């Protein structure tokens, strides 16, 4: 069975060191529910809202896109998520809680994705943003959290970059 996943080149409108000169290959996940079913990630939360992914904190999180980035000469797979409740204000989800969610997303989604598409990344980067942001564009008023992992024997090993 073939599942439709579109791709295109992602280019930033401003310079960002994380983007190679020719851009990064963007795999836009159009039918997220289909991809999640394919990866075997099922949850009662998904039945209520097909775009939400279950995470330990219970915050609403959905996959925005997946970038294949050959930053500097090695493959980095970037999973970009929208998590509108993150932030440093009172009542928001801070980095300490979001870090647990990012590790969970790496282990449950990224590992399966990399295996399915037979990718061999040097790093997997999980990012959470409180709003959609164009890749490589500076958005000072947005909250973003990032974590980098290397994959070993289908496990996410935190890199602490």
> How confident is the model at residue 26, as a pLDDT?
52
* 100-140: pLDDT as tens digits: 999 999 999 999 999 999 999 999 999 999 999 988 888 88
Nearest to 123 by CA among 96, 150, 153: 150
- Residue numbers in the chain where pLDDT is lower than 70: 1-50, 72, 161
> How confident is the model at residue 43, as a pLDDT?
42
> How confident is the model at residue 49, as a pLDDT?
53
Locate the DSSP E strands across the chain.
6-10, 24-28, 62-69, 76-82, 123-129, 144-152, 155-158
> How confident is the model at residue 11, as a pLDDT?
40
Residue 72's CB: how many other CB atoms inside 10 A? 10
């Amino acid at each position: 069975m073939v599942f439709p996943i579109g791709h295109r080149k992602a280019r930033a409108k401003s310079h960002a060191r994380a983007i190679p000169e020719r851009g990064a290959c963007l795999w836009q996940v159009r039918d997220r529910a289909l991809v999640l079913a394919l990866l075997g990630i099922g949850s009662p939360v998904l039945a209520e809202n097909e775009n939400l992914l279950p995470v330990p904190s219970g915050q609403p999180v959905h996959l925005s896109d997946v970038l294949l980035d050959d930053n500097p000469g090695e493959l980095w797979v970037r999973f970009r998520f929208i998590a509108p409740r993150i932030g440093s204000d009172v009542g928001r989800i801070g980095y300490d809680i979001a870090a647990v969610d990012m590790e969970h997303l790496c282990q449950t989604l990224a590992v399966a994705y990399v295996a399915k598409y037979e990718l061999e990344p040097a790093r997997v980067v999980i990012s959470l943003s409180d709003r959609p942001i164009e890749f490589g564009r500076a958005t000072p008023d947005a909250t973003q959290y990032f974590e980098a992992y290397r994959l070993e024997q289908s496990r996410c090993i935190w890199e602490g970059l």
